[in-house]
A = this chain, B = another copy of it.
Amino acid sequence: MMRRMFTACFLVLTLPALARQNDSLLIRAIADEILVNGKAYENLRVLTKQVGARLSGSPAMYKAEAWGKKTLEQSGAEKVWLQECMVPHWVRGGKDEAYIAGQPKNTPLDVLALGNSVGTGAKGVKAPVVLINSFDELEQRKDEVKGKIVFYNYKFNNKFVKTFNAYGDAGKYRGMGPSRAAKYGAVAVLVRSMSNAADNNPHTGSTVYNDSFPKIPAAAVGLQDADKLAALLNSNKSATVYLKTLANMLPDTIGHNVIGEWKGSEFPEQIITIGGHLDSWDPAEGAHDDGAGCVQSIEVLRALKAIGYKPKRTIRVVLFANEENGLRGGTKYAQEAKAKGEQHYFAMESDEGGFTPRGFGITATPEQLAKIRTWTPLFEPYGVFELEAGYGGADIGPLNQLFKTPLAGLEPDSQRYFDIHHARSDVFEAVNKRELELGAVNMAALIYLVDKYGL
């Protein structure tokens, strides 16, 4: 009996241990491939330096799609296609300008019109400014707003350790601020940039007009200039600002998701999607946001192929159109999948910058999350300690809504993201090769485990 018991224990203990060891070795092979032969950084260089900024509807959007198709083909996708989707076509129209009117001279403000905003016309708008620190204050002072420029100066809250929480906290002023000010007769809006950078670059991003109120021009202000303007307004209630933007929303135009597929050997009908978004804001190169996510997703495919892995399920890399000012690509991808009766087994997104990975945010059932969390020790050697319930991602969100697909969003270190997010500083040089690669390593590891063990 003792011997038999011993044998039974031995089996129970060692089968999982052996599997764990094999998984560890396979993930080590993925890491070696990406850290030694990685192509993500060079792919990002080409995307950022040869295509550059690629806002929906711009000529560069089409260049980026062609880059995506070619790069996916070169990286081993068996089939690559463009999935048409209509995208908004907002244009900045020229250089945004603003200054504080003064004697003997005006004080320039570094501004960027918000995405989707209307312009001021070529003559611009000049009006007294009301400093508003919160929506509560706006409601209290609504009678002072008519004919004025509202300046929302709500600050990024540095107490949040994870900076996305500060972004979530402050973001409503950019999103809803213009229409809430227009409701009380404001003629334009300035918004303190959603950032904690040490520089003065303004950070653009979408605003969303409420159709019940007039659409008024709106622009983000750099942090140093925001502080300067706030200091002035706190001492002199009659400060006047001039703002000119030539922003304009044109009719929708045709864009595309770029999709690369690798058929599964055992359950080809079960699709695993990995993606980032191909569009970017216009002031810079969209290197972290979200060139990084695109090249990491492509790298997952390339590396798994390079080490000779044969997926059970079908792996699709999707470079989504129009995340920034419409989410049309992600929406279209899920809707067309639904119409075709596809099975969407799992989806992963990288859209929080190409920084050192710290974890994944998981949108899944408690049972699925519990299973994923048992894999945590396999990620720790690669710097990922947090596999937690959280936000999967914007572009794959519709898959969860339509299919209840479990989602995983890569969570890189967030400290530097809002230094460069939607600003001129989001350039290739701000991306570190190793940090970018380690993100792809952890993404590929999770794809491998989900494909092998299921959820």
A358: Cβ under 8 A from any B Cβ: yes
- How many whole Å from A438's CB to the nearest CB in chain B? 7
Within 8 A of B (CB), among A27-55: 31-32, 35-36, 41
Which one of B41, B382, B415, B435 contacts A432 once the chains associate, using CB atoms below 8 Å?
A: B415
Q: Does A413 contact B (CB under 8 A)?
A: yes
A345 to chain B, nearest CB (A): 29
- Closest-by-CB residue of B relative to A34 is B158
Determine whether the beta carbon of A381 is less than 8 Å from that of B161: yes
Is the CB–CB distance between A36 and B158 below 8 Å?
A: yes
| Nearest-neighbor residue (CB-CB) of A199 within chain B | B429
Report A36-80 CB contacts with B as 1/0, cut-off 8 Å: 100001000000000000000000000000000000000000000
Q: In the complex, which residues of chain B have a beta carbon less than 8 angstroms from the beta carbon of A413?
A: 356, 383, 413
A161 touches B31 (CB 8 A): yes
Known A161-B31, A161-B381, A382-B161: A416·B438 in contact at CB below 8 Å: no
**How far apart are the CA atoms of A381 and B162 in the complex, in Å?**
9
A222 → chain B closest CB, angstroms: 16
Query: Which residues of the other chain, B, contact A386 by a CB distance below 8 angstroms?
Result: 385
Whole-angstrom distance between the Cβ of A452 and the nearest chain B Cβ: 22
Q: Does A159 contact B (CB under 8 A)?
A: yes
Chain B residues with CB below 8 A from A36, complex form: 158-159
A142 an interface residue at 8 Å Cβ cutoff? no
Chain B residues with CB under 8 A of A163: 434
Chain B residues with CB under 8 Å of A432's CB are 415-416, 419
A198 at the binding interface (Cβ < 8 Å): yes
A358 / chain B contacts, CB cutoff of 8 Å: 383
Contact between chains at A434 and B31 (CB < 8 Å): no
Whether the pair A35, B385 counts as a contact (CB closer than 8 A) is no
Q: Please, which residues of chain B bring their CB within 8 A of the CB of A415? A: 356, 432, 434-435, 438
Residues facing B in A402-455 (CB within 8 A) are 413, 415-416, 419, 432-435, 438
Most chain B CB within 10 A, of A41, A356, A438, is at A356
Taking a contact as CB atoms under 8 Å apart, the answer to whether B35 and A159 are in contact is yes
Q: Contacts of A434 on B, CB cut-off 8 Å?
A: 158, 163, 196, 415-416
A196 to chain B, nearest CB (A): 7
Q: CA of A31 to CA of B158 in the docked complex: distance in angstroms? A: 10
Q: A1: shortest Cβ distance to chain B, in Å?
A: 36
- Within 265-318 of A, Cβ neighbours of B (below 8 Å) are at none
| Closest CB in chain B relative to A354 CB, distance in Å | 11
Other-chain contact of A161, B159, B385, B419, B438 (Cβ < 8 Å): B438
Contact check, B433 vs A32: say whether CB atoms are below 8 A apart.
no
CB distance from A412 to the nearest CB of B (A): 10
* A383: chain B residues within 8 A (beta carbon): 161, 358, 413
Docked complex Cα distance between A163 and B438 (Å): 12
Residues of B within 8 A of A416 (CB): 432, 434-435
The residue among A382, A385, A419 with the most chain B CB atoms within 10 A of its own CB is A385
Besides the known contacts A31-B161, A158-B434, A416-B435, 12 further A-B residue pairs in the complex with CB atoms under 8 A apart: A32-B159, A35-B158, A41-B198, A161-B381, A161-B382, A163-B434, A196-B434, A198-B433, A356-B413, A356-B415, A383-B413, A415-B432
Q: Which residues of A pack against B, CB within 8 Å?
A: 31-32, 35-36, 41, 158-159, 161, 163, 196, 198, 356, 358, 381-383, 385-386, 413, 415-416, 419, 432-435, 438
30 pairs, A vs B, C-beta closer than 8 Å: A31-B159, A31-B161, A32-B159, A35-B158, A35-B159, A35-B161, A36-B158, A36-B159, A41-B198, A158-B434, A161-B381, A161-B382, A161-B383, A196-B433, A198-B433, A356-B356, A356-B413, A358-B383, A383-B413, A385-B385, A385-B386, A413-B413, A415-B432, A415-B434, A415-B435, A415-B438, A416-B432, A416-B434, A416-B435, A419-B432
